[in-house]
Amino acid sequence: MLLAVAGLSLYVFLPSLVAVASSWRSLGHLEWGFAVLVVACEAASSACLWQLDRIALHTRSWFPIAAAQLSGNVAGRILPGGGATATAFTVSMLREAGVDVGEATAAFTTSTLLQLATTLALPVLALPAILAGAPVAHSLSTAAYLGLAAFALLLAAGAAAFTYERPLETAGRAAQWLLNHTVRRHTPVSGLPEKFVADRNFVRSTLGGRWRAAGLAAVGNTGFDYLALLCALRAVGASPRPSLVLLAYTSAELLALVPFTPGGLGFVEAGLVGTLTAAGVPAHDALTATLLYRLMAYWLPLPVGGIAYGLFRLRYRNVRSSRSGSDGSPIPGSGEGGIVASGTARTRR
């Protein structure tokens, strides 16, 4: 069923994908300095994600975290199941590196919750910046300032959510009201304020005292991705309305959550081209900027993930047998190059 829905979705958005891909000849006319910055921003965004996972796992190791995340990303985009498949694949790889399955599952649940909260909160918190930027002249530097203001609000909101329960309860009641008044349901949605608080408590207990660093990493993951889009627009020489650039990015972030295709493939391309065109970017430049951005954010990590998987296998091919006891479970603290989650046991719901 999921494969049928994914196939239908790709068929519907095939014209948009073809239009974006057909603009590849325009890549030869880019300002390559800014195209390189797109790669650098996406690399920094990934590094922030790995830092978030390191904090959640209470480890100092980089290689196994990065290799497992990149490999899981590939698995989630070529195998059925999407994000669930990616998480399961990543957890299984980290188990071979010496991480307890329960610890890894709790860590990735925490990481996913923070990323999801950042993605869903950004459109709401960006609204003042979008409205304030509506009359401003076309300038990508202004778009960067508007984005900075939105992400500063995001950091402040995250700190408030980690410290107090009232903001979460208010957000939960607002989301609950919206869900119950926009979609007809046999059973009304209830208990969202309590669920938001419970999820926050789970995340905070998993992160321990490093929740501030984790929040900064989660916002950095999204912030550098936004900068990558700005650099892609600068690389094609576009000068869009700043407020609508931020709107285009937040729309793309939400469309990437659509579960029908891996990473929102098709949905993101169609939405991003449409919103960038509305922001004043010529259609041809919108296609080229979208192609450049998606090449670096979506397609480039696939071969990189394949290489990471090979390197991981080379490093840990003999570790599992050497560090496993008679029951096959990892022995904490043993094995060369291993990664073992340290610290006290984390509370799980």
In a domain, 250, yes or no: no
Which residue range(s) make up the domain with 191? 27-236+294-317
Which residue, 334, 306, 307, 305, is CA-closest to 319? 334
In a domain, 16, yes or no: no
Sequential DSSP letters for 204-259: HHHHGGGHHHHHHHHHHHHHHHHHHHHHHHHHTT----HHHHHHHHHHHHHHTT-T
3-state SS string over 277-346?
Answer: HHCCCCHHHHHHHHHHHHHHHHHCHHHHHHHHHHHHHHHHCCHHHHHECCCCCECCCCCCCCCCCCCCCC
C-alpha span between 304 and 50 (Å, rounded): 15
Are 271 and 258 a contacting pair, CB within 8 Å? no
pLDDT tens sequence for the chain (349 residues)? 655 666 666 656 667 777 788 888 888 888 888 899 999 999 999 999 999 999 999 888 999 999 999 999 998 888 766 777 888 899 889 888 888 888 888 888 888 888 888 877 877 776 765 666 544 445 667 667 767 777 888 888 888 888 888 888 888 888 888 888 887 777 888 888 899 889 888 888 888 888 889 989 999 999 899 889 989 998 998 877 777 787 888 888 887 777 677 777 888 888 888 888 887 888 899 999 999 999 999 999 999 999 999 999 998 876 555 555 444 444 333 333 444 333 333 333 4
Q: How many domains does the chain divide into? A: 1
In a domain, 336, yes or no: no
In a domain, 349, yes or no: no
Q: Is 32 exposed, middle or buried (0-12, 13-18, 19+ CB in 10 A)?
A: exposed
Are 123 and 232 a contacting pair, CB within 8 Å? no
The overall pTM is greater than 0.85: no
Q: Beta partners for 324?
A: 330
In a domain, 189, yes or no: yes
Are 54 and 316 a contacting pair, CB within 8 Å? no
Alpha helices by DSSP H, 60-191: 63-78, 83-96, 101-133, 140-163, 166-182
In a domain, 124, yes or no: yes
In a domain, 327, yes or no: no
**Which residues are CB-contacts of 181 (< 8 A; sequence separation ≥ 6)?**
none
In a domain, 11, yes or no: no
